[in-house]
Amino acid sequence: MATTNKTLRTCKKGHQYYKSSDCPTCPICELERKSVNGFLALLSAPARRALEHNGITSLKQLSTYTEKEILQFHGMGPASLPKLRAALQNEGLAFKN
């Protein structure tokens, strides 16, 4: 079994956590800021951050992008697309063709 080298880190808010990757995201802070409603709540943290980083915080904004464009965002994977399609469809919207 492979061993991982996790290092103890402290975020700006003082939370301490262990990480084995170079990802700077504090998991405790991430849980605190997770959306509890809306379409962003349906997504994994990396997918949600990918949309937020690109200024997409509403379904109307999301509908101005193609699926291919969304998949180009770092952190966005194909597993998120069905959730996004359904959320758009519930509001009478769709991805741009």
Does any domain span residue 31?
A: yes
Q: Are residues 66 and 54 in the same domain?
A: yes
Total of domains in the chain: 2
Same structural domain, 54 and 23:
no
Q: What is the pLDDT of residue 69?
A: 98
Asked if residue 70 and residue 60 are part of one domain, the reply reads yes
pLDDT tens digits, 3-60: 678 999 999 999 998 988 887 888 888 777 766 568 999 998 889 989 999 999 999 9
pLDDT interval class at 2 (50, 70, 90): low
Q: Give just the sign of the alpha carbon dihedral 61, 65, 67, 69.
A: negative
* Residue 1, pLDDT above cutoff 90: no
Domain assignment present for residue 54? The answer is yes
Domain of 94?
A: 37-97
Residues 73-84 have pLDDT tens digits of 999 999 999 999
Q: What are the residue ranges of helices labelled H in 1-97? A: 27-33, 45-53, 59-62, 67-71, 81-90
Specify whether 48 is located in the same domain as 86: yes
Quick one: 55 and 97 in the same domain?
A: yes
Q: Maximum distance among all alpha carbons in the chain?
A: 49
